Amino acid sequence: VIQAVFFGICVLTDLSSLLTRGSDSQEQERQLKKLISLRDWMMAVLAFPVGVVSTVELVYPKLLDNFIPAWLNHGMHTTVLPFVLIEMRTTHHQYPSRSCGLAAVCTFAVGYILWVCWIHHVTGVWVYPLLEHLSPGVKIIFFAAVTIIINIFYLVGEVLNNYIWDTQK
């Protein structure tokens, strides 16, 4: 869902940019800048770090192979990274300040972890079957590690974006 919303905003930004080109409307220009800021924020905080995590994360129960074919699973998880990298290479994204970006990534990670725990609380089933086999203490360590990893991916995205666009002084 994150990737679909992000790439939808990318298309909307590109179309808006094309349609407002040559226009003298300051309001249209202001709205376009807001859209570009949203696109850049989503790339930095959600699309890149979550896209990388979903690509490298292989916690997938065998039981679901009967319902979700391998090609669809790859379509939802594996193909995300190449498209995010293509987007990063073709469009310069302005990253937020490091502290704001990391705070937003942490907020997303904690919110997602709470959502996973809430689903377990309501249904009695863990979304990721691996969690079923972990003790409460190990779950806390696991969740902390995932939060640290997604923050590392945020930093990797920032460094990669700066390298590609040579924005480091």
The structure tokens listed for 38 are 């949203």
What's the rounded mean pLDDT across residues 101-125? 96
Return the domain boundaries, the chain. 1-167
Model pLDDT, residue 130: 86
pLDDT, averaged across the chain = 89
Q: What global pTM score does this model have?
A: 0.85
What lies within 8 Å, CB to CB, of 89 at 6+ separation is 164
Q: Give the residue-averaged pLDDT of 31-51.
A: 95
Q: Could you report the per-residue pLDDT of 57-88, keeping only the tens digit for each?
A: 655 556 666 777 777 777 777 788 889 999 99
